[in-house]
Structure 1
Amino acid sequence: MYHSMIKSFFQFSAGSWISAAISFFTTPITTYLILPSEFGKASLYTLVLNLAMIGVLAGADQSFIRMFYETDQERRPSLLWNAIIPPLFLCGGVTVFLVCCRFEVSRLFGGIDQSLVVILLSFNLFISIFERFSVLVLRMKKRGLAFSALRIVWALANSGGIVFFALTVEKSFLAVIFGAFVSSLCVFALSFLLELKFWVKRCPLSIPKIKEILGYGLPFIPASILYWLLSSMDKLALRSYTSFEEIGLYTAGQKIVIALSLMQVGFGMFWAPVAYEQYENKDSKVFFSRVAKTIAGGMFLVSFLSIACKDIIVLIFDNAYLPSAKTMPFMVFSPLALTVSQVTAMGINLKKRTYWHLFVTLISASVNFVGNLLLVPLYGAKGAAVSTGIAYIVFFYVGTFISRKVYPVSYSLIRFSIGVVILFVVATVNTFSGSLTFELLSVTIGGVAVFLL
């Protein structure tokens, strides 16, 4: 079983690592073409798109994941279409809203009329719905190699779209938006073709099934909005208190933790179907405990390595982005906490107590709000990184404790907590010390200490 799980993990992860290599070679080009302030505007576009996706999906994607293995194979295409119909209707309403409020939306990007941005956002939202479900079909059918191929296509299309637009139209944040739109379109088209029979099979719609899908999925909306605030509050605070350039540097800092982000994405893509299938087999508690211990060890290792190599990785950026290395250390806590909590907080979903997600994200978002309010005016991007890192630590512990109440599993939380404290100290030193020798010494001592736990 563990051999097949490891094989599946690498199949799902391979594309992420190859796409990272593509980004590694194209980042010097894109950062040369696009100024930090323009990247800052593009990151705000992503925030708006993600928020709109939360509303239009209405949790239907989570319902599809949860009900996939409960549904007979012959009826799974019907489950797909019953899940995708509500988001399509909601997408129409959101599109009308965006068009009517296009001038208000434009204020996020500097206060000028950005009707083209609103048009791209509306089309991107529509395509993203189909992209989300088409990729989910591959995930739930455990087609790891196909999923990896799509990740590679996404990286090529995204980088190619940015460079093409910047060279032929203009070197602005619109190039980044265009790249995102092209990559979503390509991924949907290919994933649709890979499961063409699944999509075109005749599927009767069922009002009771749609109600069941929305009944399970709707509680995810407020929780997802709060999670959006949790993950976006840093950039919103930077937009309020600093400049687009500071947002761009912060976004570049997130690219330095690319290895951790890739592990998070790769693990998350393969874990959900494995976890639900294992739960249906009634032999999951020991399995979950072992997986949590293994993935935590791997994430700690890569966290320390990422901090140690931050000043080397940043050299691939244009000189304007070099200060982003100092914003990076506390960013390791986001992928670390999210990846491990996918295992330790899984009991909430397994027991269908999804309303607890609202409480978890409310507490974490509140911590992030207070942290950004206090730290961003003083430390800018560094303060945003510290606040967000602390918030994700809270996210992990609250979710894990609640999950253990509804689905008791023995996790090694004491050892994990010691590791978090050590990593926190190392991140603090590497953010504020200013001494390269002291920074490397802290990483070395901290890494050895965690390894000996």
Structure 2
Amino acid sequence: MNLKKILQFSIGPIGAAALSLITLPFVAWFFTVEDVGRLTMLQVVLSLAVSLFSLAMHQAYVREYHEEDDKQALFKVSVIPGLAVLLLVSVITIALPFSISMLLFEIDSTLLSFMLFIGIFASFFINFLAHVVRMQERGLVFSATKITPKLFLLIFIGLIMLLNLKAEFKTLMIMNTLAVLSSLMMFLWLTRDTWLPALKKNVSIVLLIKMLKFSLPLVAGGIAYWGLTTMDRFFLRSLSGFDELGIYAVAVALAGAVSVVSSIFSNIWHPILYKWAKEGIAQKKVQCVIDNMIIFVALIWSLAGVFSFIVPWFLPKEYQAIEYLIVACVAMPLFYLLSETTGVGIGITRRSKYSMFASISAFLVNALLNYLLIPDYGATGAALATVLAFFVFFIVKTEFSARLWCAIPRIKMYILILSYVIGTLVMVLSKANLGHFYLMWVFLFVFTCLLYRSRVSENVNILKFFLEKR
């Protein structure tokens, strides 16, 4: 994948993050903290639906893409199992004698329940279509799959103010649903050369079984990972209320800007890695990627710690706690980003069940810590629990990879990451009230550069050569 393709794939996550940063303060200023919390619950449920009902077949699609010649048939096989399960569960849920909207949003509304199901189905299809254009290396179209839902949401939310509509959650829900539906229509048009021919293809039972063997272990892992990233919202909703949930959700959403990097890297890394695996992978290449990723993660983590005091300036005073929550929230996508490189052995060896074990281990740690910490510490407890759980996720996934494939050097990496975790815990527990606390983050990054000085020197020389060549 050349530089042009990388830039095309990067536009989407960067644009989506920028639009989120515009939309979020807007919602925070004009809607109540409770409605922000309800919007968070909606996003959590949509995320769960994609993780659960896709049956992780989109990951099997990516894994087998370079192995199968008939891409349209591969797409059909990947979609059908999850769609069948989603239809069955939807019928059963509608027949149940309780209100799904009351359960999730504490608002009894048939309209909200209807909008929820529309959003789930649309998100399900968007997920698969995004992976189609990703594997076709259509960078601009893939970027559109990331930007368009956020852009439509921003436009529709703007209409609430422009048309003087009532700023309540029902209105917000309708606008969110319209945004997702509009995006789906666009993606169906852009990928018609794949899904239209796929309708006429026969389903290969052999291929279906092969893909399910790879994907089904990832379902439990995917749900566990979903729980790892979202269970804190459920605990906050039940143990602290929608106000604490709203504050925490805004902190997580702002930290989600860091997920842009994770998204860009994953979209580029997995196709390259599996192509390397087919051609015969060199361990030195992977080690180089790991070392550079550690340096990058340390840099972003330190920058978040140094400049966290700026964030509350752009939000109402109710969100002041975000100053010390933001660093913990940034750590979550950084752990995932790093584990994408240190855990490569699991994907290379097709031992996907070990990803499941890593996610379940972290899930259990997160559940226990959320239960113990949230009643007394609220959003602070949720942040602490999730940081520690992601640390466990990173360690377990890295260790499994080392045993399944090859043992990468890990001691100094663990020492460094543990130092950053301790620094984060100190900042959150002290509520950023320590004098000159930013020096701690500067020291940690200097420590990183010393530990990986040979790689830093190598990168500096590459940068010098590049600048001189220009």
Change beyond 3 A, Cα 1:26–1:236:
closer
- Which deviates more, 164-173 or 353-362? 164-173
1:203-258 Cα offsets, whole Å, 9 max, x none, are 22223332332232222222222222211221111112101010000011113324
Scaled by the length of structure 1, the TM-score of the pair is 0.92
1:370-391 CA deviation, whole Å, 9 max, x = no partner? 2112211121101110110010
Residue 185 and residue 445 in structure 1: after superposition, are their counterparts in 2 closer, same or farther (change >3 A)?
Answer: same
Structure 1 segment 199-210 matched on structure 2, within 5 A: 199-201=195-197, 202-210=200-208
Match of 1:88 among 83, 106, 110: 83
C-alpha distance in 2, partners of 1:351/1:90? Answer: 29
Is 1:352 the equivalent of 2:350? yes
Segments of 5+ residues of structure 2 without an aligned counterpart are 452-470
5 Å-filtered alignment, 1:277-426, equals 277-410=275-408, 412-426=409-423
Q: Which amino acid aligns with 1:222?
A: A
Displacement after TM superposition at 1:115 (Å): 2.0
Q: Does the CA contact (< 8 Å) of 2:311 and 2:322 recur in 1?
A: no
Letter in 2 for 1:318: P
The equivalences for 1:210-289 within 5 A come to 210-289=208-287
Give 1:182's match in structure 2, choosing from 155, 178, 194: 178
1:103 and 2:94 matched: no
1:133 is matched with which residue?
A: 128
Give the aligned partner of residue 65 of structure 1.
62
User: Bigger shift: 150-159 or 163-172?
Assistant: 163-172
Contact 1:98 1:122 (C-alpha < 8 Å) held by counterparts: no
Listed as ranges, the gaps of 5+ residues in structure 1 are: none
Tell me, in whole angstroms, the C-alpha distance in 1 between the residues paired with 2:307 and 2:351.
Answer: 41
Moved more, 21-30 or 52-61: 21-30
For residues 104 and 164 of structure 2, what CA distance do their matches in structure 1 show? 22
Name the TM-score, length of structure 2 as normaliser. 0.89
> Percent of aligned positions with the same letter in both sequences?
27
Could you give the per-residue CA deviations for residues 39-67 of structure 1, whole angstroms, max 9, x where no partner exists?
A: 11121122222223333212221211111
The structure-2 alpha-carbon separation of the partners of 1:52 and 1:153, relative to structure 1 and needing over 3 Å to count, comes to closer
Q: Which amino acid aligns with 1:272?
A: H
CA distance in 1, matches of 2:208, 2:189: 25
Residue matched to 2:118: 123
Shift of 1:416: 2.1
Residue among 150, 162, 171 paired with 1:155:
150
Q: 2:450 aligns with which of 424, 449, 452?
A: 452
Partner letter of residue 386 of structure 2?
A: T
Per-residue deviation, 1:396: 0.7
Question: Structure 1 residues 289, 190: CA separation in 2 closer, same or farther (over 3 Å shift)?
Answer: farther
Counterpart CA distance in 2 for 1:11 and 1:212 is 32
Contact 1:260/1:336, CA 8 A, preserved across alignment: yes
CA distance in 1, matches of 2:438, 2:237: 32
Paired letter, 2:135:
M
SS in 2 for 1:437: coil
For the 8 Å contact 1:102–1:115, the answer to whether it is kept is no
Alignment of 1:434-449 (within 5 A): 434-435=432-433, 437-449=435-447
CA 1:258–1:86 in 2, change beyond 3 Å: closer, same or farther?
Answer: closer
How has the CA–CA distance of structure 1 residues 189 and 297 changed in structure 2, closer, same or farther, with 3 Å as cutoff? Answer: farther
Cα contact 2:72–2:201 (8 A) shared by 1: yes
Q: CA deviation at 1:289?
A: 1.6
Q: Secondary structure at the match of 2:166?
A: coil
Residues 170, 397 of structure 1: CA spacing in aligned structure 2 closer, same or farther, 3 A cutoff? same
Tell me if the contact between 1:261 and 1:335 (Cα under 8 Å) persists in the aligned partners.
yes
What residue in structure 1 maps to residue 72 of structure 2? Answer: 77
SS of 1:452's equivalent? helix
Deviation sequence 1:263-303 (CA, Å, 0-9, x none)? 11111222221211121111242222211221221122111
Contact 1:120-1:181 at 8 Å conserved across structures: yes
Q: CA RMSD in A?
A: 2.2
Number of equivalences = 447
Contact 1:98/1:118 (8 A) holds in 2? no
Is 1:10 the equivalent of 2:7? yes
- Give the Cα separation in 2 of the matches to 1:302 and 1:37: 31
Match of 1:193 among 189, 194, 197: 189
Q: Distance in 2 between matches of 1:139 and 1:391?
A: 30
Contact 1:57–1:87 under 8 Å retained in 2: yes
The one-letter code sitting in structure 1 at the alignment partner of 2:444 is: G
Q: Is the 8 A contact 1:337 1:392 kept in 2?
A: yes
